[in-house]
Structure 1
Amino acid sequence: MNFERRSFLKLVPAISTLPFLSDSVNAGPKARIAMRFIVASDGHYGQPNTEFQKFHSDLISWVNREKMQKGVDFLFINGDLIHDEPTLLYDFKKTISGLSVPFYVSRGNHDKVGLDVWESTWGYPTNHSFAKGEYAFVVGDTSNEKGEYVCPDATWLRTELAKYKEKKGIFVFLHITPAKWTVNGIECKEVIELFENTPNVKAIFNGHDHDQDSTKQYGKKPYFFDAHFGGNWGTSYKGYRVVEIYEDHTWQSYQYNPTAAPVLNAFSGKE
């Protein structure tokens, strides 16, 4: 099935869909924020001929500033932590120790480390999940030690989604998008239909495509892209995505450019 030819694929309208957002992101709905997290990806620590050290120090500064100004419960780094060389993983981990917030990671196609090294480094496998209050977060692996593109394990995903069926919402993280609606996406029909048929899956977050910072939609499920904060190609800016969940269980997400007109491609979600 070619997802690009299906009528249900569309770009979600940008900031106009959220009239309560001001340019400075100071306005907000009446409900108070219950949880706020940031998604960034594709730092490519160690990539030759890039300012990878600066890219990472910038991200740390941005996230720490967000923590002080608005609060951040955690940061999720959605793959391509390093650039191909497995020994870089230790240096990457040491570098991001400057973060003032908890963080979680997923494996990207440039994170060419084995399962044992990954788990010994982070304390959890490449497929993992965690819960925070009324919400769950499920992380699927979309690559392997060779750096090949692979569909996430649908059987494992189905089990994890069922485990959290009583949660108010589930947010899924996959480095590579499971629909062929970008040049670098892959087609994973079973996975994308599993998400569509799981009522409390709220959103899926993808990295990998450095030139994508928008929202795409399959049925009722939004798929968010966060561009990149490192690497040598992609959007003209480096940034990240913000997710805010409110006490009334509504939520919003927007892409953030820390160096210019900041709010991009906002999306509002309902309970």
Structure 2
Amino acid sequence: MACSDPFQYNPNQVILDKNQQDLNAKNIARIQKRIPSDTVRFILMGDSQRFYDELADFVESANQQRDISFVLHAGDISDFGLTQEFKWVHEIMQDLRVPYLTVLGNHDLIANASTAYRKMYGDFNYSFEFGTNKFIFINTNSREFNFDGTVPDLPWLKQELANNPLQNNAFVIAHIPPFDADFDPKLEKEYAEILAADPHVNLTLYGHQHTFRNGTFYNDGVEYYLTTSMQDRGYLLITTWKGGYLVDRIKF
């Protein structure tokens, strides 16, 4: 018997080609090679899970949008946390005309998925800057860490927000919003207060609830936006400029 590729005998194995590793860092490098204009447009989508046909249709729709710099995946890339699911999603997302970045979802922590996610995409918490914007990605999947007080990492979030010498717009992106039952209730108030205390955070972005939703849920001036799942065939198209933003709901 001969086999040209590694033989996978366990669905929880993490076997990736080199071009399937460290994708967030690689895509940030691609984004930062672009020349930003005064106005930056990007897409927020999420909860791809097993909705592969719908995800392919999303890619076709996203590719028709004009002047998009990148796509943000708001988590739940996988459904059962299998490495093969991450690979299938990446194969489809590779057809995007622009780079894409991810944040960790709760389904991306099932079984051995945390190892697969780290190897394929990178750190659970990270940030980058583009134009007059800073994008901060943070793990908010508290339930998967037994509500132990470490997730989300609030000291890290404070540090990232403070490290903004150019006073750029600050966007915080996560999978689970703080008003959801899967977010650590002991950390909800402080999380919201950290965002509200920073004058550069006006908009923060999430997935998880499989519905479009938005509001200033803590009456503090910070707008929370949730995008729907791929199953529901929708995403958010966000346009931002220094000190402002516009959010459009797109159905495909």
1:151 to partner: Cα distance: 3.9
In structure 2, C-alpha distance between the alignment counterparts of 1:148 and 1:71, rounded to whole Å: 41
SS of the residue corresponding to residue 137 of structure 1 reads: strand
TM-score (norm 2): 0.75
1:142 is matched with 140
- Mark the runs of 5 or more structure 1 residues left unpaired by the alignment: 1-31, 46-51, 231-236, 259-271
Name the stretch that deviates more: 53-62 or 109-118.
109-118
1:212 to partner: Cα distance: 3.8
Paired residue type of 1:238: R
2:14 is matched with none
1:115-126 paired onto structure 2 within 5 Å: 115-122=114-121, 124-126=122-124
1:82 is matched with 78
2:230 is matched with 229
Contact conserved, 1:184 with 1:208, CA < 8 A, in 2?
no
1:20-59 paired onto structure 2 within 5 Å: 34-45=39-50, 52-59=51-58
Paired residue type of 2:79: H
2:69 is matched with 73
Paired residue type of 2:211: D
Contact conserved, 1:216 with 1:224, CA < 8 A, in 2?
no
Contact conserved, 1:38 with 1:74, CA < 8 A, in 2?
yes
C-alpha change, 1:147 and 1:40, in structure 2 (3 Å) is farther
Find out whether 1:157 has 2:157 as its counterpart. yes
1:250 to partner: Cα distance: 2.6
2:245 is matched with 251
C-alpha change, 1:110 and 1:147, in structure 2 (3 Å) is farther
1:177-192 paired onto structure 2 within 5 Å: 177-180=177-180, 187=185, 188-192=188-192
In structure 1, C-alpha distance between the alignment counterparts of 2:217 and 2:141, rounded to whole Å: 23
Report % sequence identity.
23
In structure 2, C-alpha distance between the alignment counterparts of 1:191 and 1:129, rounded to whole Å: 17
Paired residue type of 1:38: I
C-alpha change, 1:144 and 1:184, in structure 2 (3 Å) is closer
In structure 2, C-alpha distance between the alignment counterparts of 1:116 and 1:168, rounded to whole Å: 33
1:15 is matched with none
- Mark the runs of 5 or more structure 2 residues left unpaired by the alignment: 1-36
1:241 is matched with 236
1:60 to partner: Cα distance: 0.6
1:225 to partner: Cα distance: 0.9
In structure 2, C-alpha distance between the alignment counterparts of 1:102 and 1:135, rounded to whole Å: 17
Paired residue type of 1:72: I
TM-score (norm 1): 0.70
Structure 2 counterpart of 1:98, from 95, 102, 116:
95
SS of the residue corresponding to residue 91 of structure 1 reads: helix
Superposition RMSD on alpha carbons, in Å?
Answer: 2.4
In structure 1, C-alpha distance between the alignment counterparts of 2:145 and 2:77, rounded to whole Å: 13
SS of the residue corresponding to residue 95 of structure 1 reads: helix
Name the stretch that deviates more: 217-226 or 139-148.
139-148
2:21 is matched with none
In structure 1, C-alpha distance between the alignment counterparts of 2:52 and 2:142, rounded to whole Å: 25
1:148 to partner: Cα distance: 6.1
Structure 2 counterpart of 1:128, from 117, 122, 126:
126
Paired residue type of 1:82: S
